[in-house]
Amino acid sequence: MSKKIEIPRFTWWDWFLILGFVGTSLVVSILNGEFSTLSFIAGTCSILCVIFGAKGDMLNFPFGLVGSLILGYIMFGSGLMGMAVYYLLYNAPMQIVGWFKWNRRRLSDDSAVIKTRWMTWKQRILMVLSTLIIATILYFILKNKETDPWIDAVAVAVIVVTQFVLVFAFIEQWFLWLLYDFIMVALWIIKWKAGVSYASIQLVLQLFYLINAFRGIYQWSKLEKA
């Protein structure tokens, strides 16, 4: 009979991300004179998702599922059809797949932490080629439907491949997250300048994601050695 799974304690870094996002979002909302409850809830779930993800902990998936459903709705309202389809039809189901995949890679029966690993060079080349092919296909699909088709196409392609790499517990996912976060920061700056509601909170969220991606590389490298 397996023991009860232990929930890892939050470190000062985790509290920095949580309180930093909450505090910054409130300040930005006050300055802009508007507050999006949905965006705030999605952001909080997503922050918890990436915190547990950086720890290699399976608890990232429940928060990821809720965050994906809300973000899909937000992206749809922002006119980002590619990202909306990604969150609702790909990322949300992949949270469920990821839970079962990671369950098989747990360090022990009483641990929610998984074994991480590096890709081979062949797998890395395949990862890059897959991203380029998906981005090109999406561009031709979106070019007559959006004002920024290349940004949306590349962002969706990167995150689709990233989510797949994440499910199989490869450390390279964090380098893809870095690329994705840089793209999304640029995208939300464009939307913010265009006056899109809740763009400011999403921009803040992406900046915290960007910081956490560096932490994820460090944490997963430690897990792989352990």
CA R_g for the chain: 17
* pLDDT given at position 1: 39
Render pLDDT for 25-54 as a digit per residue (tens, 0 to 9): 787 777 767 777 887 888 889 889 988 888
Helices 199-225 and 37-54: crossing angle in degrees, nearest 10, is: 10
- Which of 34-38, 164-168, 208-212 comes out lowest in average pLDDT? 34-38
**Cα(98)–Cα(24) distance, rounded to whole angstroms?**
30
Render pLDDT for 134-148 as a digit per residue (tens, 0 to 9): 999 988 887 777 666
Whether 174 and 206 have beta carbons less than 8 Å apart is answered as: no
Residue 6 pLDDT level (bands cut at 50, 70, 90): low
- Which of 71-80, 121-130, 161-170, 208-217 comes out lowest in average pLDDT? 71-80
Render pLDDT for 72-91 as a digit per residue (tens, 0 to 9): 888 887 777 777 888 899 88
Percent of the chain at pLDDT exceeding 90: 25
Which residues 6+ apart lie within 8 Å of 159 measured at CB?
86, 91, 176, 180
161: closest CA among 86, 64, 67? Answer: 86
- Which of 62-66, 75-79, 176-180 comes out lowest in average pLDDT? 75-79
Q: C-alpha angle 117/120/124, rounded to 5°?
A: 105
Residue 7 has pLDDT above 70, yes or no: no
- Average pLDDT of the chain is 83
Residue 115 has pLDDT above 70, yes or no: yes
Q: What is the pTM of this model?
A: 0.77
* pLDDT given at position 174: 93
* pLDDT given at position 171: 93
